[in-house]
Structure 1
Amino acid sequence: MNTLVIKNAHIVSPSDGLDKVADVLVKDGKITRIAENISTEGNVIDADGLTLIPGLVDMHVHLRDPGQTHKEDIISGCKAAAAGGVTSLLAMPNTIPTTDNAETVKYILDKAKNADANVYVAGSITKGLKSLEPTDIEELKSAGAIALSDDGRPVENTKYLSEAMKKAPQLGMTVVAHCEDLFLADGGKINGGEVSKNLGVKGIPAAAEDCGTAREIALAAALDVPIHICHVSTKTSVALVRDAKRRGVKVTAETAPHYFSMTEKELLAKDADFRMNPPLRTHEDVVEIISGLKDGTLDAIATDHAPHTPEEKSDFEKAPNGSIGMETSFAVSYTYLVKTGLLTISELVEKMSTNPAEILGINAGHIKVGVPADLALVDLNEEWVVDVDKLHGKSKNTPFKGKTLCGKVKYTILGGKTVFEDK
């Protein structure tokens, strides 16, 4: 029997009513006891001064595998996840080939068996993400997919989106929606506004996201089914989600760390690592994103981890959208939300673990007897500088490079096994 004892940890698990110093006993990958002064047997981690939280659940990740493994693959992506305290992640379907068939779903799940995080799969709603033909959702579910999305693009054909939203609850799946009106976006590169005019770069109006958000909410209301809104970045989308929740619409929503810690002004340096879709917005948008996190409008924080090579990111305007984020997500969120007094550590754990696990319907987000020992030990007082040369994934395109952050993941434990230790 494999045994691990975590001693003297400050345990924070809001869904289990835990905010105290205690020991945790793990046997054969599961938590078997939480108490003070558990006798030491087997492996021991002295967690004095550290905070034990449920492993983070990142519900928005691009692993680039299959098809673009020079940027990232399932194994390297999960090493990056483990270094950031992420023990479960949802892999988006814009792979090559698209995750629109059973074979690709099975490939991902099979390769992930030996990875340092639990990988869950989002199958696509339309074949090839082209909005021309729907996928066989039942086939994707049977192969092991737990969610549906055309992320990377919106589902342009509203009928196909509607059909997916109706089927998903019956199959125990979650529809996670990339909200964007492509006609309004019209090939823009950064947020449409002061900075885009200053740089002479084509902008994407906030209305492109807002119109997409409004459509998804309208469908959820009309069909009385759930919808999850991805990567919210605008003040109007926050208001739309807030209003929908007040009306009883079954809507949940996420944002990403860069949307509450940065504005479009970062782009004045013409560094493509700050280019993502949706783009960095204005100060007013940041204020409302934070407001939405505080009042519960925004349920989750996810990264939209999107690896690209330095060569691809070298040209500001031609570079593909996206930034990596799993290794920095906890520290950025803790630094900008908890250290500033905007959220408590318990509320942050809800946003980064408990709530996304509940939205996806997976067995995660808890520290209690009987559940898998998927855990992260963090030092909430340690400051560190983001050094791209020390990151664990294949790509280095982080907008947080060189930033000093507070809150360092020291251990990540997956199924009772230590998969990351900060030495």
Structure 2
Amino acid sequence: MFDLILRGAKLVDANGERCADLAIIDQKIAALLAPGTPAETRATRDVRGLVILPGLVDTHVHLCDPGYTHKEDFDSGTRAAALGGVTTLLDMPTDLPITTHASDLREKMTLAGGRIHVDVGFQVAKLRDHPSIDDVRALDPVSFELFMAGVPEAYRHDTQEALMNSLKALRPLNTLACISPGDHSLQSAPQTDTGRAGLNALLASRPPVFEAAGIANAVLAAAATGARVHLRQGNSKLGVDTWRRLRDLADVSIETTPQALLLTEDVYDERRNFFKALPPFRPEGDRVALLAAVREGLIDMLVTDHAPHAHAEKAAHYDDFRDVPSGMPGVQTFLATLLHLVERGEITLRDIAKLCAHNPAQRFGLGATKGLLAPGYDADLLLLDPERSTTLRNEDQRSKARYTPFDGMHVSWSLAAVYLRGALKGETTPANGRVVTASA
């Protein structure tokens, strides 16, 4: 006997679209039945007219817990994620302390217990000289994070030798190495100025060649070592062009964000501090090139880089533009921004299922249970209503940031329901998320 059958919806995942009744047993999808097939079940829900997508898998999220919990924490961040259609997220290691050693990862896992509303995996920052990789790997994090610029020296892989040494150390562990690409030698400090000059200095400190050089060096290091590598946040035409030419050299993948596909540097003329993030937004030509790369199949996944800060931190006056905290919230608006791209004809619903569920789950070792609407997979489901619209508003945000860069965006879809492993999510639903780990 099934626990629940959802009848009458159109199902869309990376494999295509079909009409089927979806049956659930013990938190898993048990069967896809021909519409109207008689079956014994404890409960039935009529979902005719709705579309079911697999829950989104966001592999680039900063939950800020521990150490920066005035910005976000496990409870607030994962509540926001569930409201945005994200049923699995992977937490970045840039907290306080930076998640580096086995003791840091154990503490994080313990802190998350009973406080997460979606499934969460953890990522570990790789030191240039890491004394305890085996101990950390024994806890099965979903990836190791390597940074090429913009971090403390002990974590900075700013030479090809340092990058290759770390990749050589990770390769025997059969783990994914995620690299934030950049070229430290090109990075200049923004001048002390909060006006347009300060903004121009920020843009000059992270030019497209900064990203492109990092992509090139990372791909070459992956090719030389045989390591599995994922590149963070491509957002420039030069970066995409470099990626196109080199990607076949190694086992590599790359991500970008909805904000890079929707926003340009013109937004800095509105609320400059609130749009400050790294990498910075680019001119229109870069945005168009990124969209073309998505349609071409060059981009492997879309992520949010959810990096919230308290509203007061963003709104404060800073004498030095460098001191404005970098990052924006994104998990609660993830699905809505993707659907906005669908409305504009830039991507399809199947693209969402592929780029934001199937591909990230596969790449990060979760593909046996996440990312598809198929028997044996977790019943992580999004029910979309094409007849009801949504308007994004600051006052509706559950992140501690309490704002969205997409305030006022109108989307002619709504998220009617979210299921996490077969359980219907809601504002008062208990924290029933669990920690997920990569499969070896």
TM-score by length of 2: 0.86
CA contact (8 A) 1:109 1:119 kept: no
Could you give the per-residue CA deviations for residues 248-279 of structure 1, whole angstroms, max 9, x where no partner exists? 42221000011010100000124322111001
- Aligned to 1:96, what secondary structure does the other structure show? coil
Task: Give the Cα–Cα distance (whole angstroms) in 2 for the partners of residues 322 and 256 of structure 1.
Answer: 12
Give the C-alpha shift of residue 102 in structure 1: 1.2
2:131, 2:241 → 1: CA distance?
A: 32
Match of 2:284 in 1: 283
Residues 308 and 397, structure 1, Cα contact 8 Å, conserved in 2: no
Instruction: Give me the whole-angstrom Cα distance separating, in 2, the residues matched to 1:232 and 1:407.
Output: 28
- Residues in 1 aligned to 2:198 and 2:190: alpha-carbon distance in whole angstroms: 15
Provide the rounded CA distance (Å) in 1 between the counterparts of 2:426 and 2:212: 39
Q: Identity across aligned pairs (percent)?
A: 28
Cα RMSD (Å):
2.4
| Superposition deviation, residue 63 in structure 1 | 0.5
Mapped pair 1:331 → 2:319: no
Give the corresponding residue for 2:81: 81
Q: 1:46 to 1:109 in 2, by over 3 A?
A: farther
Partner of 2:64: 64
Which one of 353, 359, 362 corresponds to residue 355 of structure 1?
A: 359
Deviates further, 100-109 or 347-356: 100-109
C-alpha contact 1:232 1:253 (8 A) present in aligned 2: yes
Matches of 1:135 and 1:287, distance apart in 2: 43
Query: Is the contact made by 2:10 and 2:19 (CA closer than 8 Å) also made in structure 1?
Result: yes
> SS at the partner of 1:31?
strand
Counterparts in 2 of 1:380 and 1:212: CA distance versus 1, 3 Å:
farther
| 1:398 to 1:184, Cα distance in 2 relative to 1, 3 A | farther
Cross-structure match for 1:346: 350
1:25 corresponds, among 23, 26, 30, to 23
Cα distance, 1:199–1:98 mapped onto 2, change above 3 Å: closer
Residue of structure 1 in register with 2:391 after alignment:
385
2:130 is matched with which residue? 134
| Displacement of 1:367 | 1.1
How far apart, in 2, do the equivalents of 1:165 and 1:420 lie? Answer: 42
Letter in 2 for 1:236: L
d(CA) in 1 for partners of 2:411, 2:324: 27
How far did 1:66 drift? 0.7
Spell out the pairing of 1:212-251 with structure 2 (5 A cutoff).
Answer: 212-245=214-247, 247-251=248-252
Change (3 A) 1:6 1:239: same
Give 2:63's aligned amino acid. Answer: L
Residue 420 of structure 1: CA displacement? 3.5
Q: Displacement, 1:298?
A: 0.7
**Retained in 1: the 8 A contact 2:219–2:249?**
no
Q: CA deviation at 1:41?
A: 3.3
Residue 254 of structure 1: aligned partner: 255
> Scaled by the length of structure 1, what TM-score is found?
0.90
Work out the CA distance in 1 between the residues paired with 2:89 and 2:159: 27
State the SS of the aligned residue for 1:382: coil
Report the equivalent of 1:272: 273
Cα distance in structure 2, aligned partners of 1:149 and 1:62:
13
1:270-294 alpha-carbon deviations (Å, 9 max, x no partner): 4322111001111110011101111
Q: 1:408 Cα shift?
A: 2.5
Q: Which residue of 2 aligns with 1:320?
A: 325
Q: Which amino acid is the alignment partner of residue 175 of structure 1?
A: A
Q: Residue 404 of structure 2 aligns with which residue?
A: 398
**Would you say 1:308 and 2:292 are equivalent positions?**
no
C-alpha contact 1:134 1:160 (8 A) present in aligned 2? no
For 1:412 and 1:244, the matched residues in 2 are separated by 39
Contact 2:16 2:350 in 1 (8 A): no
Q: Matched residue pairs, number? A: 409
Preserved CA contact (<8 Å) 1:125 1:135: no
**In the TM superposition, what are the counterparts of 1:67-216 in structure 2 within 5 Å?**
67-114=67-114, 115-126=116-127, 131=128, 133-150=129-146, 153=151, 155-188=157-190, 201-203=201-203, 204=205, 205-216=207-218
Residues 307 and 397 in structure 1, CA contact (< 8 A), matched pair in contact too? no
Relative distance call for 1:150 and 1:73 in structure 2 (3 A) is: farther
For 2:9, the equivalent position in structure 1 comes to 9
Q: Supply the distance in 1 between the matched residues of 2:280 and 2:101 (Cα, whole angstroms).
A: 30
**What CA distance in whole angstroms lies between the structure 2 residues aligned with 1:406 and 1:142?**
46
Structure 2 CA distance, aligned partners of 1:421 and 1:373? Answer: 19
Moved more, 153-162 or 61-70: 153-162
Residue 201 (structure 1) shift: 4.7
1:418 to 411, 415, 424: 424
